[in-house]
Amino acid sequence: MRGLRVEGAAVLIAVCLWAIGHQAFDTTLVYSACISTMCWLFIDIGRYVVASRWPSFGSRSASGGGEWPGWAWMIVIVVVGAILGYAAGNEIANRITGLALPGPFNASLREMMSLLVLALVPAVTITYFFQSREVIAMQRAEVERAERQAAEQQLKLLESQLEPHMLFNTLANLHALIPVDPARAQAMLDRLIAFLRASLAGSRVGVQTLAKEFDRLRDYLGLMQVRMGARLATSFALPAEVADAQVPPLLLQPIVENCIKHGLEPKREGGRIDIAAAREGDALVVRIRDSGVGLSAALPTGDGGFGLDHVRERLATLYGARASFELAAADDGGTLATVRLPLAIGSASDATPIAAAAEAAGLARN
pLDDT digits (tens, 9 = 90+) for 19-65: 776 667 888 888 888 888 888 888 888 887 877 766 554 554 433 44
Between 347 and 205, the more confident residue is 205
- Average confidence score pLDDT of the chain: 77
Same domain, 221 and 359: yes
- Going from the C-alpha of 226 to that of each of 24, 182, 259, the distances in angstroms are 94, 12, 16
The DSSP 8-state label assigned to residue 193 in this structure reads H
Task: For residues 248 and 129, state if they share a domain.
Answer: no
Q: Among the listed ranges 101-105, 179-183, 346-350, which one has the minimum average pLDDT value? A: 346-350
Grade residue 249 by pLDDT with cuts at 50, 70 and 90: confident
Domain co-membership, 329 together with 187: yes
Across 235-260, average pLDDT: 91
Is 167 part of a structural domain of the chain? no
CA angle 198, 201, 206 (to 5 degrees): 120
Same domain, 278 and 195: yes
Instruction: Pick from 59-63, 94-98, 206-210, 242-246 the range whose average pLDDT is largest.
Output: 242-246
> HSE (CB half, 13 Å, CA atoms) of 154?
16
Give domain status of residue 154, yes or no: no
Count the domains in the chain.
2
Task: Assess whether 192 and 130 both reside in one domain.
Answer: no
| Residues 234 and 343 grouped into a single domain | yes
Are 126 and 46 within one domain?
Answer: yes
115 and 190 fall within a common domain: no
Write down which residue in 99, 119, 143 finishes a domain.
Answer: 143
| Residue 23 forms part of a structural domain | yes
Q: Same domain for 349 and 208?
A: yes
The CATH number linked to 324 is 3.30.565.10
Residue 110 structural domain: 2-143
Q: Are residues 99 and 192 in the same domain?
A: no
Longest dimension (CA), the chain: 108
Q: Is the pLDDT of residue 364 over 60?
A: no
Q: Which of 126, 143, 160 is the last residue of a domain?
A: 143
Cα separation, 2 vs 250, whole angstroms? 48
Assess whether 117 and 229 both reside in one domain: no
> Which of 123, 143, 163 finishes a domain?
143
Q: Residue 137's pLDDT is what?
A: 76
Question: pLDDT at residue 358 above 60?
Answer: no
Whether residue 233 lies inside any domain: the answer is yes
Residue 282 included in any domain: yes
Q: Do 119 and 208 fall within a single domain?
A: no
Please give the model's pTM, rounded to 2 decimal places.
0.52
What mean pLDDT is predicted for residues 302-318?
Answer: 76
Predicted confidence (pLDDT) per residue in 52-69, tens digit: 766 554 554 433 444 567
Mean pLDDT of 170-178: 83
